[in-house]
Structures are given as C-alpha cells and as structure tokens.
Chain A
Amino acid sequence: MKPPDDIDRRIIVATQAGLPLVPEPYRALADELGLAVEDVMARMQAMLDGGLIRRIGAVPNHYALGYRANGMTVWDVPDDAIAELGKMVGALDFVSHCYHRPRHLPHWPYNLFAMVHGRDRDEVSEKTAHIAELMGVKERGHQILYSQRILKKTGMRFTA
C-alpha cells in the first residue's frame, strides 16, 4: 500500500472532521484545502481502493440512539485458534471491533478483544454469553470491562 503523502493526510484530517452538509461537499473540502475537486476525489478513491480509507459514510452516535452500554470483552484463547475465533466473533453484528493483542502475563492473560454494544448492561452480558457459547471449550476465560465514563475522546490525528 502506498503510504499517504502530505496532501492525502490533509484530506483525511479534513474528512474526519466531517464532510459539510452542502450539495457539493467535496468541492467545499477542495476549496478549503486549496486543491482541485477532481484531485481530492481521485485521491480519496485511491485511498479507498488501497484500504487506507476503510469507508466513507455517516457515523452515528450510538449513545444518542440508546446504545448506552459498551463492554470491552477480553478473552483468553489458544494462540493457534485465535484467527479462527477472531473471525467468527468479528462477524457478529453487535461487535464493533475485534482485535488480537498481546498478553502481559501474569497480570493480563487475555489476547482477544471484542467491543460489544447493547442498550444496557444486561444486553451486553447476554451477548457476551452468546460469544462464550460459540467459542465452546476453546475459551479459557473472559471478562467484560464496562466503561464508566469517557475521559477524553478526540478524533484521530496524524503526527507523522
């Protein structure tokens, strides 16, 4: 994948802040960045094709829609089964993120992370039980870490 150049980065930063709700949003973006609209659209298409931009779309605020609970579920699964289990869990529609991360033994035995969303904690807990059932005997332990509060949340920034 071609790494993004400075102009690509500026486009990404600008689109992450949000496309304006005007009839020609890419032109507005191009004007703001001092670029040609054709150039902005071509670069965005190239970044989509290359996978750097994963998607362009409406980003709803789940909390405002009543999805008040999110549980970061963490799982201890055998290393040789993690890809298979990760794909299975990542395909569930109530899971928004599913990642393999390193263990830190002895304090932290969990290597698979899946973010589970629900209207309340009971719903998150039911969905987590469903994941455990799907994993069956391969699962060696799991926990749900509920968020108490968001202390800081800023959009993605590029420092490179």
Chain B
Amino acid sequence: MAPSQTLSRQERELLNRYQRDFPLQPRPYAAIAEALGMREDDVLTLLAGLRDRGVLGRVGAAVRPNSAGASTLAALAVPATQLHAVAGQVSAMAAVNHNYAREHEYNLWFVLTAANDAELDRTLADIKAATGLSPIKLPLEAEYHIDLGFPL
C-alpha cells in the first residue's frame, strides 16, 4: 500500500477552499492566486504537483445524478467461489461504471447508467441471464446530503 500523502498548509487550503466555487471566469487560476495571496504560476505548479502525486483527481464539474439519462445502484449476492468470475462479467458490461466488492451477503455492488429506465432493466436482465443470479435494483429515490466537498 502506498504511504498516504501529507499536504502543506497551502495545499490543504487550496483543496479545502476550491472543492466548490472554482472561478468560472477566463483566468480562474489567477483569481484563486489573488484570493490566496499567491501567483498564478504558483497555483498551477501546486495543482500540477498534487495531480502528479495522485492527491488531486482533477479539477472539474460534478454533475447531478440522473441529469442526463437513467442510473441505478444494484447489488448481487454472489457465492464466494464465483465472485471473481461474476465481477468480471459485470465489469465487462458497458453500462457499468462503478463496481465494488463489499463484505456482505450482497457482495458485489455496481452502478449502471443508460439512456432510460427500460434500458437499465434490460441490462439487469442480461446480468441475470449471464450469471444466473438476481440483482436487486436500488435506484435513488431522494438525496439528502449537501454536497460541499469533503474537509481534509
């Protein structure tokens, strides 16, 4: 396991402050630099360093779920001896964009996205046909968290 990265004060401030409200203006890094009392070059260098160390995934947009098309969480209870094979079958499907092994009777958890709900159901039926196991479909009914980013 790679050791965890530690952050300098400046890096922590930058990451905590700009998980949201990244400036939507022509020179966003210059605006950040001004707010933090830095230079634009230094902000860019610092972010590139964080990215190269694997600490920064990206600077980008987080989109509301189901805003374009349909998606659902689904789970399968897979016998332990078949987990590897079934996980491979599920991951191979284009509609699957997250697939996690978790410790529970329902041990394979995945997110499906498709153009619409009927297509989601077809994919779930395909999974059942391919694996002989019945997925439970757990679509989002309401969302409660206030997505402010994550304090570091």
Would you mind naming 27 contact pairs between A and B with Cβ atoms under 8 Å apart?
A1-B67, A12-B63, A16-B61, A17-B58, A19-B22, A21-B48, A23-B40, A37-B26, A55-B20, A55-B22, A56-B22, A57-B149, A59-B60, A64-B54, A83-B144, A89-B144, A101-B73, A102-B141, A108-B138, A147-B100, A148-B101, A150-B99, A152-B96, A152-B97, A152-B99, A158-B68, A159-B119
Given A12-B63, A56-B20, CB of A99 within 8 Å of CB of B141: yes
Q: What residues make up the interface of B, taking CB atoms closer than 8 Å to A?
A: 1-2, 4-5, 7, 14-15, 18-22, 24-30, 40, 44, 47-48, 51, 53-64, 67-69, 73, 75, 77, 87, 90-91, 95-104, 106, 109-110, 113-116, 119, 136-147, 149-152
Given A55-B149, A157-B113, CB of A9 within 8 Å of CB of B68: yes
With most chain B CB atoms within 10 A of its CB, the pick from A26, A147, A151 is A151
Closest A residue by C-beta to B23: A56
Closest B residue by C-beta to A3: B68
**Which B residues are CB-close (under 8 A) to A147?**
100-102
Interface size on A, residues (CB 8 A): 79
